[in-house]
Each structure stands twice: as C-alpha cells, then as structure tokens.
Chains A and B, each alone.
Chain A
C-alpha cells in the first residue's frame, strides 16, 4: 500500500533516505499542471503570444530528430584537430611563460586563478577585478576580468595568451569528451532558450556534445556526412542586413543587397571620393584595397556596417575592429551619411519601445512574424536600446530559419531524401544522398525561402548553398564548396593580399 502524504502538512512527511527527493519529484508534476493552467489563461487563441507558443511547440519535432541523430565525426580528423590544438596551447604557454618570466621571474599557470590574481593584482599592482558568487565577493581572473585588464597595454599579450589558452582548452575538451561512442556529436538543441527566440545548443542529457554554433571554421572538417551522403549547408545570405534594410526602409541598402555584392556597394556609398567605375566587379578591386593595416575598405564596410546597424558607437567599433578611434569616428560619419534611414530607424525603434506598454505597464517590441519580447531593462539605457534595435533582425531571421528547418523536417518525414543535422541562427546543415546535388539545392532552397511582409513590402532573403564532404569551408582548406549549379546564388569572393604598409597615412 502506497504511503500517501499531504504536502500542506510537513509533519506527515516520511524520513526514509530518498523521501525528500521523492516529495520533490512528486511536487514537480502537479505544479507543472498548476502553472500550465495559469499560463494558458494568457495563451488564448486571440492572444498576441499564441503564435510564438504554437511556433515553438511545433519546433520540438525537428529538435528531437536533430538531437537524436547527431553529426558524424571523422575520428582521425578529430584526433588530428586535438593534436593541432594541443600544439597551439603548448606554443601559447611557451610565449606566456617567457612573458611572465620577464615580469616576475616565474612561470604562470593560466588555469590557476589564485596564481593569476597574485600575478596581476599583487605583483603588477593592477586594479583588482571582483566577482560575486553565492553572495561572496572575491578577486577574479575570469574572462570578464581579463578583458578589462587587457586595456592595460603592457599586460595585453599576457591576457590574450591566457584567454586563447582557455578557449582552446575548452575546444579540446569538447573534442575529446563531446563525441559519443558511435562517433557522433549529439547536442541539445534548446528551443525556448534565448530572449530573441533563436535556438541555442549545449551539452546533451548524457553530458556529451556541446555548442554546435560556435565551432571555428578550421575545426569544422571533423564533421562529415554518413556513408553515401554529402553535406549541405544552407544559409540566409546577409539575412540580418535584409531585415534591417526593410525595417529601416533604407532604399540604398536595399539596392546594395540587390547588387550581388553588398559590401563593395556599401564601400562605394561610404567612401564616394574613391575612383569607383560604376561596374560592381571592377569596383571590388578598389574595395579590396587597404584601408587600415590588414583591413580593406570592403572588410570595414562589412564588419563596421553590421555593428553600426545596431547602434555601435565609434569607441566600440574601434575596440572590436581594432582600428583607431579617429578612423572609427570617420567610418560612423560616412556610414550614417550613406544610409541616413538607419539612424532614423534606430531612433524610431527606441521611441516605439519607450511608448509601448502592455496591460502590466511593461515595454515590448513585436517582430514582423509576431514574436513579442518584453524589455525589462532600463528603457532610457543605451544597452537596452541596442538590444531593442538588434532584436527584430536577429529574432526574425532566427525564426525564419527555424521555420525553414520545420519545413525541411516535414518534407523529410514525407520521404525527401535529406536528413537534417543542425540548426544555426541563420543556416541549416543537412546531409543528402551523393549525386543529388542540384535537385537537393533546388528543393531545399525553395522550402527555406519565405517571403516576409515588412512595412507593407514583401521581402525575400536568398538562400546560399555550400556542399561538400566535410563542414569546413573550401576557402579555408575544407571540402564545403559554394554550389554554383541551378538554384544557387553563390558567388566567389576571395580576398587579395594587402601589404601591411600599403595604408593611408593620417
């Protein structure tokens, strides 16, 4: 006969060894039911949140398929990658120890937080960085602390080396422990994970796998298709820029996107004084000339433009692009002049956020697809503004991609020959039988292409396909090559060598 307890009367609770664990488990399920009852009241058919709920619920099917299937790992390539990364760590540790020896006559263990604190704060006298864990404030040499210390130019190489060693060590750990015994990398694809509605990935329930979205291109060659299959990587080409352009109703950016070479076209608008010919192919040669050190005009246009779309200030640009503040300021002025609709859109988004209030007085924004996000940060704070500005493009693209994945999954269930392997923020990775390149590209591109209504205009983001026998880009020494067959929008963009001294002098 079962032991029946009343949770409202703790004196009736048993004390056998696992009792608390069982009561805990026994409360979880009725509370789930109770909470669902409360939440359902806000999720009626006319609710503004219904779309998001239904959308995320139906993504569970593809997510489960992806999580269970995993991606095949070439174990020889994995071992080679591990050796390569270990070699990099050894080199970095050698450099770190040489530098540390100069400062304090000893080696430095990048994994010992205590030793790093002694070195940075007690020996070098740098301002102490603190971290609060479980209410306890202690000196820290974590990532945030080292990134702050990096502003002191004399310790910058040491901080960089430590950060790189830690990052590579993490990669090594994932490579060594993340792969299952059947040589597959299975990860947990989290649907309701981020504030923007994009998916995230992490270790799976067995503790293997990891974040699939953060793999650097030079390690991606460990991921291979199953025998008889080929990998296909389908991404929305300049997806966020499309959404920004249509949200901002910025005709010049829309024209740049339609030109086929967004970044060269943008470079033409940002630096109109350069001797442009008007032919986009010839102009690319000019755009690839050095602007600052190893950065070409095109590079700066690409990276700086993306940040500036989300209201990055010159100081932030200078910091992230590693260019001088003067150049960053100049770039921002040129960019705003070239695309005057973007600052106006940013202002209107901020204003919309500040004016919007739901029944509870919370500020929110809604995407073109219908996903609503509340902003609980200070609405007069620039950090909140930047989040608000980035929200619509990032969320819309992420959910468009999920919609694409869902359609591919449904097609797969109906007999399409491909198998979905992963969902990135703006791309899908799948495998399909060898010899079916053109029809797969055509069918997948059709399913992933979705016309979207933004500000009374219909916009379609083109899908770019890359196919190959491992996931590493062909340009970086891998086998994944841009598809140039029917249904493809691929183009070649190979950077030319830019000499270090060939740069403008100010």
Chain B
C-alpha cells in the first residue's frame, strides 16, 4: 500500500524521510509509528506544531513491498522489510539497467537500484515542488542523499545547504527519528537542529555570515594585518588562532581578531620550488612575526589549544602567552555529554556552511616533506 504525504501545502517546513514502516503502510499516513510519535514530541519541544509541517518520504512504499511488486511471485524477502538493502545494488547492476545512471552511492559501494530510485526521486521532486515552504528538512542519510547527493548525515546534520534535486530550495539535514530511538543520546541534538530549522523557516534564502579571509599574504600584508590584531586587543577582543599540521609539520596557521576577519599564513605550497610558500629569509621573518604575536600576553582563544600550543612550542619554540579561553574546554564544562569537535559546535551554535567538509583529505594527507 502506498503511503500518501500529509500536511498543508503551504507549511512551515517539509519533513522528508526515507520510507514508510509497517504502521505507516497499514494506516497510509507517514510518521505514525513509534518513530513518528517521537518526531511529534521532538517537534513540539522545538516549538513546532506537527500540523504546520508537510510530511513525506523518498519512497512511498516499504522497500520489501516495492521490490516484491517489481519481482512478482518470485520475490523472496529476506531480513528487515524496512531495510534499503532490498533496493540496493552495485554500480555494475545499476549501469546495466540504466546506462546513464550517475547518482552517487548511498554508502561506499552501495547504490540504490535505478528501477526503484529514479521513479521515487521523480515523484518526490514533483510532490515537493508543489509545497510552499522555506525549508526542507532531510530526516536521515537517505533523504539527505536524495535532496543533496551527500549521504553522511553525521557530517552534514545541522548545516543548511541547497538542494540539488530541487534547486534553490534550502535543506537542513538532521537525524531520522528511527535513529533517535536506537541512539537516544542524539535526541537532544535533533531537537537543537529542529530549533535551528524553526529559525531558518522564516526566510527562503541561505544567509551566510560574511567573513573576509586573507589568503596568500605577502610580508607587507602581515604587517598590515597586525593593525587589525592590535585594534581587536584594544577593543578587548580575543585573538583566535589555529594551526593545521596534517602532513606532520605546520602547513598553515590562521589568526582571527574578529569573527568576520581572518588571515591564513601558509607555509606549504606544492606549486613552488621546494614546496615552501616563503623564501628561507621570509619564513624566518614570518615565524618571528608569529612568535611576537603569540608570545604577547594579550588574550587568546583556540579550540583544543593545548595541542596547538604544544606543536608551536616543539616546532618553532613559540611559547604562547595569554591563552585565556578554549572552546573545547568551555563546551565540555557546559555539556560533557555532547561532542566537542569544532564542526559539531559550528553546526549547533553558528549559521556557517559545513566548512569541515571543505577539506575531504583532512587527516589522510600523506606525510609529505618540504625541502628544509
């Protein structure tokens, strides 16, 4: 039995899930089972009334039923009828069925069979285009995949992004309520996401904070930027700093005297001879400049600064002074149960893009060497 969407076409937000479960199939309404009831409670905690939301799924039929309908009497259902395994295939099978199949995998090596997913995406696209709302909330990895092409819900949740299925529509990914029933600790995070969703539903566009980043600086730029740092300190602001050393040495360091301004000082440049951004003399000057800034006993802040301080001390002999605040420690003191990564905090406390995904190679960079 097909499960029809529910909710007003002119709504606060459209909530899009994966596929109906047994109870949904029986009643014909999405999100009425245990996970649906939990969703209603979470919406209510976030100050959202369910009746103001449009609710639908990528698939309007349970996966096993969908496959049984396609295969007829020869279908031998194995395992959980709600599992997407019933609809998945490897890339070769997908291409043999639809040679122009270009959809990304749902997870490593796991594709949704075009026989099922192409009609489902078409239906979802038609259905949601008719819904007048400022925000689409992707509940779980599959809905996120359908709307944006990304499937890693833990990495993208809480960050608004633009839909690829429905261009210009704003998407806010969060967990699926069924996942919350399995991992109850994530419930508070989902409620936070829904609170963010309520804020985001007030306007259609994605509003990004404007930040100026100074890239590829020269020595005069550093001197120029120091004025901003000094002004920040004069106004009682903290100086934020962060190093990157995925290659085993400090390859860049950023300094931010304000939330809308930062400077990136690179040290590694694969395009240049010796792979060093600066000449030897310049680099000596830059390290001395950084030493002067960081050793000044003016207030500073960092995320897990102890790591950066240790690396700076070991690599360049810089003894950071005035290190007053630390976001990781502050977040741990406030919420010891929640994650303390900057990416997570950014998703909850800011309106920034999923910037941690800008660097997919992070943590996996080869231990490359610069010429000494």
Mostly helix, strand, loop or mixed at chain B's interface?
mixed
- The verdict on A33 contacting B256 (CB below 8 Å), with A7-B210, A134-B108, A134-B152 known, is yes
B218 within 8 A of A: yes
* A63-71, A162-170, A217-225, A441-449: which lies at the interface: A63-71
Q: Indicate if the CB atoms of A376 and B213 lie closer than 8 Å.
A: no
Chain A residues whose CB sits within 8 angstroms of the CB of B358 once the complex forms? 20-21, 23-24, 27
B288 within 8 A of A: no
Can you name the residue of chain B whose Cβ is closest to the Cβ of A361? B45
Q: Indicate if the CB atoms of A39 and B242 lie closer than 8 Å.
A: no
Contact of A135 among B141, B259, B302 (CB under 8 A): B141
Q: Indicate if the CB atoms of B238 and A33 lie closer than 8 Å.
A: yes
- The verdict on A43 contacting B330 (CB below 8 Å), with A2-B218, A30-B240, A136-B110 known, is yes
B185 within 8 A of A: yes
Q: What's the count of A-B pairs with C-beta under 8 Å?
A: 248
Can you name the residue of chain A whose Cβ is closest to the Cβ of B315? A205
Q: Indicate if the CB atoms of B211 and A378 lie closer than 8 Å.
A: no
Q: Indicate if the CB atoms of B301 and A36 lie closer than 8 Å.
A: yes
Chain B residues whose CB sits within 8 angstroms of the CB of A376 once the complex forms? 184-185, 187-188, 337-338
* A11-19, A103-111, A306-314, A451-459: which lies at the interface: A11-19
Chain A residues whose CB sits within 8 angstroms of the CB of B106 once the complex forms? 135
Q: Indicate if the CB atoms of B330 and A40 lie closer than 8 Å.
A: yes
- The verdict on A18 contacting B269 (CB below 8 Å), with A135-B151, A192-B329 known, is yes
3 A-B pairs closest in CB distance: A192-B332, A29-B256, A135-B107
Q: How far is the CA of A188 from the CA of B307 in the complex (A)?
A: 9
Q: Indicate if the CB atoms of A374 and B336 lie closer than 8 Å.
A: yes
- The verdict on A3 contacting B266 (CB below 8 Å), with A32-B301, A135-B152, A377-B185 known, is no
Chain A residues whose CB sits within 8 angstroms of the CB of B270 once the complex forms? 17-18
B342 within 8 A of A: yes
B340 within 8 A of A: yes
Can you name the residue of chain A whose Cβ is closest to the Cβ of B181? A378
- The verdict on A30 contacting B329 (CB below 8 Å), with A18-B268, A19-B215, A35-B350 known, is no
Can you name the residue of chain B whose Cβ is closest to the Cβ of A379? B184
Q: How far is the CA of A491 from the CA of B44 in the complex (A)?
A: 59
Chain A residues whose CB sits within 8 angstroms of the CB of B303 once the complex forms? 28, 32, 35
A selection of 8 A-B contacts at a CB cut-off of 8 Å is: A8-B208, A24-B358, A25-B252, A26-B263, A30-B261, A35-B349, A57-B325, A381-B184
Q: Indicate if the CB atoms of B329 and A33 lie closer than 8 Å.
A: no
The interface bits of chain B over 232-261 (1 if a CB of A lies within 8 angstroms of the residue's CB, else 0) are 000001101110110000011111101111
New A-B pairs, 5, CB < 8 Å, besides A2-B221, A32-B240, A371-B336: A2-B263, A25-B242, A56-B332, A60-B329, A376-B337
Q: Indicate if the CB atoms of A3 and B214 lie closer than 8 Å.
A: yes
B334 within 8 A of A: yes
Q: How far is the CA of A155 from the CA of B129 in the complex (A)?
A: 57
The interface bits of chain A over 345-371 (1 if a CB of B lies within 8 angstroms of the residue's CB, else 0) are 000000000000000011000000001
Chain A residues whose CB sits within 8 angstroms of the CB of B253 once the complex forms? 25
Chain A residues whose CB sits within 8 angstroms of the CB of B102 once the complex forms? none
B125 within 8 A of A: no
Q: Indicate if the CB atoms of B240 and A68 lie closer than 8 Å.
A: no
Chain B residues whose CB sits within 8 angstroms of the CB of A19 once the complex forms? 215
Chain A residues whose CB sits within 8 angstroms of the CB of B333 once the complex forms? 43, 49, 52-53, 56, 192
Q: Indicate if the CB atoms of A373 and B356 lie closer than 8 Å.
A: no
The interface bits of chain B over 202-218 (1 if a CB of A lies within 8 angstroms of the residue's CB, else 0) are 00000011111111111
Q: How far is the CA of A27 from the CA of B261 in the complex (A)?
A: 9
Q: Indicate if the CB atoms of A362 and B188 lie closer than 8 Å.
A: yes
The interface bits of chain A over 400-437 (1 if a CB of B lies within 8 angstroms of the residue's CB, else 0) are 00000000000000000000000000000000000000
- The verdict on A39 contacting B301 (CB below 8 Å), with A2-B215, A23-B215 known, is no
Q: Indicate if the CB atoms of B325 and A36 lie closer than 8 Å.
A: yes
Q: Indicate if the CB atoms of B213 and A67 lie closer than 8 Å.
A: no
Output the least CB separation between A177 and chain B (Å): 14
Q: Indicate if the CB atoms of B349 and A34 lie closer than 8 Å.
A: yes
| Listed residue (A21, A42, A43) with the most chain B CB atoms within 10 angstroms of its CB | A21
Q: Indicate if the CB atoms of A64 and B310 lie closer than 8 Å.
A: yes
Q: Indicate if the CB atoms of B350 and A31 lie closer than 8 Å.
A: yes
Chain A residues whose CB sits within 8 angstroms of the CB of B227 once the complex forms? none
Q: Indicate if the CB atoms of B346 and A35 lie closer than 8 Å.
A: yes
Seen from chain B, the residues whose Cβ lies within 8 Å of a Cβ on chain A are: 45, 85, 106-110, 141, 151-152, 184-185, 187-188, 208-218, 221, 237-238, 240-242, 244-245, 251-256, 258-264, 266, 268-271, 301-303, 305-307, 309-311, 313-314, 323, 325-338, 340, 342, 345-346, 349-350, 352-353, 355-356, 358-359, 361-362
Can you name the residue of chain A whose Cβ is closest to the Cβ of B305? A60
Output the least CB separation between B304 and chain A (Å): 8
Q: Indicate if the CB atoms of B328 and A192 lie closer than 8 Å.
A: yes
Q: Indicate if the CB atoms of B244 and A21 lie closer than 8 Å.
A: yes
Chain A residues whose CB sits within 8 angstroms of the CB of B340 once the complex forms? 192
- The verdict on A64 contacting B309 (CB below 8 Å), with A2-B216, A361-B45 known, is yes
Chain B residues whose CB sits within 8 angstroms of the CB of A68 once the complex forms? 310, 313-314
Output the least CB separation between A370 and chain B (Å): 10
Q: How far is the CA of A4 from the CA of B188 in the complex (A)?
A: 38
Q: Indicate if the CB atoms of A32 and B327 lie closer than 8 Å.
A: yes
Contact of B258 among A26, A33, A205 (CB under 8 A): A33
Chain B residues whose CB sits within 8 angstroms of the CB of A38 once the complex forms? 349-350
A197 within 8 A of B: yes
Q: Indicate if the CB atoms of A39 and B355 lie closer than 8 Å.
A: no
| Listed residue (A25, A37, A192) with the most chain B CB atoms within 10 angstroms of its CB | A25
Q: How far is the CA of A28 from the CA of B302 in the complex (A)?
A: 9
Contact of B262 among A29, A63, A374 (CB under 8 A): A29
Q: Indicate if the CB atoms of A28 and B188 lie closer than 8 Å.
A: no
Output the least CB separation between A340 and chain B (Å): 32
Can you name the residue of chain B whose Cβ is closest to the Cβ of A16? B271
Chain A residues whose CB sits within 8 angstroms of the CB of B208 once the complex forms? 7-8
Q: Indicate if the CB atoms of B337 and A4 lie closer than 8 Å.
A: no
Q: How far is the CA of A22 from the CA of B217 in the complex (A)?
A: 12
A498 within 8 A of B: no
Chain B residues whose CB sits within 8 angstroms of the CB of A193 once the complex forms? 332
Output the least CB separation between B143 and chain A (Å): 13
Can you name the residue of chain B whose Cβ is closest to the Cβ of A381? B184
- The verdict on A56 contacting B350 (CB below 8 Å), with A26-B215, A30-B260, A32-B240 known, is no
Contact of A29 among B108, B255, B309, B346 (CB under 8 A): B255
